[in-house]
Structure 1
Amino acid sequence: MTVRPAWLLPTGQTREHTRLAPVGTYAPETETRTRDGVIAGGNPFAATGAGAMSLQIGAGRALVQGTDAQGAYPVALDAPEIVTFTDGNAQFTRIDTIALRVYDQLFDENEQNLARIEIIEGQALATPTAPTMPPACLRLWDVTVPAGASAGVGGINWSSALGDRRRYTSAYGGIIPRGWGLAFDGAYDGQYRDMGTGLERWNATADAWQQYPATPTRPRATEQAADPPLNQAGAFVDFTAAAWPRLTFTVPPSGAVFVTIGGQVSNRTTTASTAWMTWRATGAYAEAHGGRNGISAQGGRVIASRRVYRSGLTPGGQVTLIPGWNISSGVSGGGTDVLVRDGQLTVEFVP
């Protein structure tokens, strides 16, 4: 047996079943229901093409929630299993689902007690949708089966047919890993989930997920470590990461930040010669080097800072600030008092 359920068989549950299956208290959804899902660790229930119409499902552990009266079933798949799809419909595409399903004769009409990896076949339609799951079923993968697909004509293209539908769960008080199906309400005040770009905490009073930690109160800063080569004239040039490290931050819920750049710049090659210290942004927000965000000197030296306000950024997005420089003349030491030095770049988060 490769699919091993715990707390299902009236008799015959072995010590090995109990050791392998994830027995314990897991994330609640209501007073009596458990959030079903895959237990993170490695790549549980991975899908790999095993033939023209066959797919291999890798080992993994999960919880499968039945009805409220049934409770949740801990299940372990301790060795890969191969499932084979029926040929495609002659006219329309269909979407089948690979699921982890529990049969319990006390609660269904199948008169058997077992768990297995199962294909639940969808309807072939002009606009197909994934099938509705029976009770005590955990959706793992959706598979698009094209019209006319069969082993004799090349079968299913596994590189494009698979839809990852694994959602994750965790122990009570744990952080639910990022996965498919993150559009769900929290079950209790203080529940956490991982959004990939940071954590969110469920606020029961506000009835909403909120970024955690909340908007930082302390600014983030990066300082210039070395002079730029000043080997180009008339172009904005990024500092290397070694000369001035980039600054990456997560946009706060307000979508607004202050960015400050400061230092000393000088170019006395001619009375019209200029030097600039600037920054640009990339990632969830983009902005180029230029007069909107830099400090400059013309025909002399300036020691200054400039603070600008940026709003309308995407909350939770990752933004990287890259310092830059520009001189109009005096390339490679050929001018008088040409420098871009002692820089500091700071971001402050607006509540």
Structure 2
Amino acid sequence: MPRDPLAIDGLTFDGREFRLAAAMTVMTDGTALGSRSGVRPGDPGLTVTLAGSTINTSSGVATVAYPGQGIYQCAFGSSVSPGTLTAAHATLNRIDLVYLRVWDTSVDASGLNQADIVYLAGTPSASPVAPTPAGTQIYMPLATITVLSVSNGGTASVNTAVRPYTVAPGGILPSSTAPGSPYTGQYYDSGTGLLRWNGSNWRQISPYTPISQAQVSQPGSFTAGTFTDFPSGNWPPLTFTVPPSGLVWISVGGAVMNTNTSTSSGWMAWRASGGVTEGASEANGLSTHGTRNYGTRRVLRSWTPGASVTLTPQYMFSSVGTLTTVTRADNGLLAVEPVATA
């Protein structure tokens, strides 16, 4: 059956036709006619704040999507107060909701055609959750308000994390969680990096910044015989989070010397602790034998994504002579280079 394309003279268009066509201007939700609701990234509009017990929402714009109906583009040209905060419960905490609501009588038979901002108090509970609007079909959350009980101080705090963002098709969406039903070539910013869907997984795109920890000085003396931590004042440990790929390049370098005897050895290395355990060894160290070595050892590690790992610089000398002129471990640098997801 033929449909009316926008925009041709002489044709008559209804609201649903316009809303469905306007869906072309915002990100899809993965369905044929669907769109993603939200405010624009970087737009301070429709921000919920508290002034005493008065709830305020700043002026702003938003797109509210509804299945099969396209998008409702809503604009509030001035600030709005949806109400006064309900008093705190004596002993139980509560989570309230502030949301943008659209009434469309052709969809919900409400007899109304308008958009407004609504405050809905939650139910006090030992484990409170935000309420779900009843009798409202088309809406988008703007904020939650956590209200502590009187016994807990009776204070209230606003959290806008529930407010979704939307962007134009192909735009980069800022989101703490990956978009559902992604298409090949879609991007999103997780807050720690830019990712692209390659058809089977999210690949880290933006380059990671290497992190490093330089040696400050040598200890006043060295202990012989075993791998020993550098005092943190001489060479501080380095802590990092393993990237989503689980892969990191780790480098240790510096000036290592031990000429105490013709067979004396010396090492600069690191040990890993925290989310991963690995001791210093030939597999991750830089060494010298009866002479000096200025160099770097770089190794690739595959560890648990998201693990917090601390690398502690270490040294080992088979025997010890005069500091610096005979036995030396100086100008050290420990560096971590996270690897993007393949």
TM-score by length of 2: 0.67
1:141 corresponds to which of 143, 160, 163: 143
Q: Which moved more, 1:191-200 or 1:37-46?
A: 37-46
The question of 1:85 aligning with 2:85 is answered yes
The CA distance in 1 between the partners of 2:287 and 2:96, in whole Å, is: 62
Distance 1:177 1:320, change over 3 A: farther
The question of 1:47 aligning with 2:48 is answered yes
Alignment match, 2:328: 338
Q: Which amino acid aligns with 1:336?
A: V
Identity percentage of aligned residues:
30
The question of 1:201 aligning with 2:203 is answered no
Alignment match, 2:61: 61
Q: Which amino acid aligns with 1:68?
A: G
Distance 1:135 1:240, change over 3 A: farther
Alignment match, 1:72: 71
Task: Please tell me whether the aligned partners of residues 65 and 71 of structure 2 are also in contact (alpha carbons under 8 angstroms).
Answer: yes
2:305 counterpart SS class? coil
Task: Please tell me whether the aligned partners of residues 259 and 345 of structure 1 are also in contact (alpha carbons under 8 angstroms).
Answer: yes
Alignment match, 1:172: 169
Q: How does 1:170-319 map to 2 (within 5 A)?
A: 170-179=167-176, 182=177, 184-204=179-199, 206=200, 209-213=201-205, 229-230=217-218, 232-234=220-222, 236=230, 251-253=243-245, 255-262=246-253, 264-269=255-260, 275-279=266-270, 290-291=280-281, 293-297=284-288, 300-302=291-293, 306-314=297-305
Task: Please tell me whether the aligned partners of residues 200 and 212 of structure 1 are also in contact (alpha carbons under 8 angstroms).
Answer: yes
Shift in Å, 1:50: 0.7
Distance 1:320 1:251, change over 3 A: farther
Distance 1:48 1:322, change over 3 A: farther
Distance 1:269 1:47, change over 3 A: farther
Distance 1:303 1:164, change over 3 A: closer
TM-score by length of 1: 0.66
Shift in Å, 1:56: 2.5
Shift in Å, 1:111: 2.3
Distance 1:325 1:175, change over 3 A: farther
Distance 1:105 1:329, change over 3 A: farther
Q: Which amino acid aligns with 1:176?
A: L
Alignment match, 1:37: 38
1:106 counterpart SS class? helix
Shift in Å, 1:139: 0.7
Q: Which amino acid aligns with 1:47?
A: V
Task: Please tell me whether the aligned partners of residues 63 and 74 of structure 1 are also in contact (alpha carbons under 8 angstroms).
Answer: yes
The CA distance in 1 between the partners of 2:181 and 2:253, in whole Å, is: 43
Shift in Å, 1:140: 1.5
Q: Which amino acid aligns with 1:27?
A: M
Q: How does 1:113-128 map to 2 (within 5 A)?
A: 113-128=113-128
Instruction: Give 5+ residue unaligned stretches, structure 2.
Output: 1-21, 223-228
Distance 1:228 1:116, change over 3 A: same
Shift in Å, 1:94: 3.9
The CA distance in 1 between the partners of 2:337 and 2:186, in whole Å, is: 29
Shift in Å, 1:114: 2.1
Q: Which amino acid aligns with 1:158?
A: A
Q: Deviations over 1:15-40 (max 9, x none)?
A: xxxxxxx9970101121111001211
Alignment match, 1:19: none
Distance 1:199 1:285, change over 3 A: farther
Q: Number of residue pairs matched?
A: 306
Task: Please tell me whether the aligned partners of residues 217 and 234 of structure 2 are also in contact (alpha carbons under 8 angstroms).
Answer: no
Superposed CA RMSD in Å reads 4.6
The CA distance in 2 between the partners of 1:126 and 1:239, in whole Å, is: 47
1:157 corresponds to which of 155, 180, 184: 155
Shift in Å, 1:348: 8.0
Q: Deviations over 1:284-342 (max 9, x none)?
A: 96678844632234653245654545333216x787978777886644x5x33635459
1:117 counterpart SS class? strand
Distance 1:303 1:187, change over 3 A: closer
Task: Please tell me whether the aligned partners of residues 289 and 324 of structure 1 are also in contact (alpha carbons under 8 angstroms).
Answer: no
Distance 1:183 1:251, change over 3 A: closer
The CA distance in 1 between the partners of 2:108 and 2:333, in whole Å, is: 70
Distance 1:102 1:276, change over 3 A: same
